Amino acid sequence: MLEINVASSHPYSVVIGSGALRKLPELLDGVVRVAVVYPTVLSAPAGTISALLQANGVQVLPLVVPEGELAKTPAVVAALWQALAAADFTRSDLVVGVGGGATTDVAGFAAASYLRGIPWVAVPTTVLGAVDAAVGGKTAIDLPEGKNLVGAFHEPRAALVDLELLRKLPEREVCSGLAEVAKAGLISDPAILRLILEDPDESRDVVSERFAELVARAVAVKSAVVAGDLTERTSLGTMVGREQLNYGHTMGHAIETYEHFRWRHGEAIAVGMVYAAELAAITSGLSAETVALHRDVLRLLSLPTSYSAAPYEALRALISRDKKTRGTTPRFVLLDQLQHPVVVSPTEDALNTAYQRIAL
């Protein structure tokens, strides 16, 4: 079992490994009632968790939410609040969110807002949920006007990543989540890249030790970056704070939007990272070998590395809407060398040329 401590205003542990759920009883100090929030597809693990809780003498309130992103609505949160109130939940009770990042986001937000905050535990069942949503304490729901527009910072008491729960995850979901793991390798941790290059097949096997180490290392990277930049200030000079987690996301978000969110997030940021590498080769002296390494690592994870479906002008317009943009000048997180992120405002020429290089 691997355990990473997330240093934040309320420090907590992310426990990773087969059987991580066995840690749940240790988190029940004084708890009388536990609400287990999950989508139908995760009924089996939710049942296991409920049985474990009941065996430890707590009352269980099962709360089914819609699948994935469909749960991140004000209506679903209101239903969760009312169910908690009807069951007399108090601040000494607990919410457990079981699912992908969407489910843990809505469960965490319900816990953050009910009675101005009750404790919660994240049980992520996707790779993205484990390495991204479970670290950093952000919880949120969507509005018709945009994603994640309403939310709160509310750290879980712990995140339990039981790799047995990821066994039924479709291969495409696993690979998409591994894009964020590869990102952590490119911006910060060379061991991640080595682990993937050494054995790409085992890297996608969710119950392998290699996979557990990859998840743990990605969690450690995000945790260290978030701890170093708790207030989410923007970069100062050459120091890059939380923004570096956005590596590959400027072009990635533009593609996601252009494709009306039919692409998985990780697939879009994979292309975005190759674009960032090409841009860095033009503006920041990134070596051709490192650009090639981006393509190699992502291909080994069956992730896309090129994109030509959109006219350049359409993507350029979407990039202007990125939250890092100041005025009309887009700002990109780039690498001037491997594991060394910098923030750069490239010229229009560079932006265009880099697109020609990924539009193969």
H helices present in the chain, as ranges: 43-55, 74-86, 101-113, 127-128, 171-187, 190-198, 200-203, 209-227, 249-258, 265-283, 288-300, 312-319, 348-358
Active site residue 138: yes
Complete edge-to-edge strand list for the sheet that includes strand 59-64? 2-6, 12-17, 158-162, 120-124, 94-99, 33-38, 59-64
Active-site entry in 265, 294, 295, 331: 265
24 vs 17: CA distance, rounded Å: 13
Strand partners, 97: 37, 122
Cβ contacts of residue 57 below 8 Å, gap of 6+?
A: none
Give min distance, CB of 314 to ligand NAD, in A.
23
Distance between terminal CA atoms of the chain? 43
Cβ-based nearer residue to ligand NAD, 175 or 344: 175
Span from 66-74, 209-217, 226-234, 308-316 in contact with ligand NAD (CB under 6 A): 66-74
Q: Count the residues of the shown chain that bind ligand NAD, applying the rule CB under 6 A.
A: 27
Give catalytic status of residue 242 as yes or no. Answer: yes
Residue pair 338/293 in contact by the 8 Å Cβ criterion: yes
Is 249 one of the annotated active-site residues of the chain?
yes
The pair of structure tokens assigned to 16 is 């990773």
Q: Which of 121, 128, 160, 251 binds ligand NAD (CB under 6 A)?
A: 128
The interface region with ligand NAD, picked from 94-102, 154-162, 187-195, 313-321 by CB under 6 A, is: 94-102
Report helix, strand or coil for 72: coil
Q: Of the candidates 1, 2, 28, 41, which one interacts with ligand NAD according to CB under 6 A?
A: 41
Segment interacting with ligand NAD, rule: CB under 6 A, options 161-169, 223-231, 251-259, 287-295: 161-169
Spatial contact of 153 and 128, defined as CB atoms under 8 Å apart: no
Residues 130-159 close enough to bind ligand NAD by CB under 6 A: 132-133, 136, 138, 147-148
Verify whether residue 23 is a known catalytic residue: no
- Say whether residue 68 binds ligand NAD (CB under 6 A): yes
Reference 37, options 20, 51, 24, 50; nearest CA is: 50
Whole-angstrom distance, CA of residue 172 vs CA of residue 89: 38
Question: To the nearest whole angstrom, how small is the minimum distance from the Cβ of residue 144 to ligand NAD?
Answer: 15
Choose between 183 and 295: whose C-beta lies nearer to ligand NAD. Answer: 183
- The DSSP call for residue 130 is I
CA angle 149, 276, 328 (to 5 degrees): 55
Nearer to ligand NAD, 93 or 105 (CB): 105
Q: Residues 24, 63, 102, 277: which binds ligand NAD (CB under 6 A)?
A: 102
- Comparing CB distances to ligand NAD, the nearer of 93 and 256 is 256
Amino acid at 127: V
Q: Is 246 a catalytic residue?
A: yes
By CB under 6 A, name the one of 101, 241, 330, 341 that touches ligand NAD.
Answer: 101
For 294-321, letters b (16+ CB in 10 Å) and e give bbebbebbbbbbebeebeeeebbebbee
From 33, 72, 138, 154, the catalytic residue: 138
Which residues are known to be catalytic? 116, 138, 180, 222, 232, 242, 246, 249, 253, 265
Per CB under 6 A, residues contacting ligand NAD are 39, 41, 67-69, 72, 99-103, 105, 125-126, 128-129, 132-133, 136, 138, 147-148, 165-166, 168-169, 173
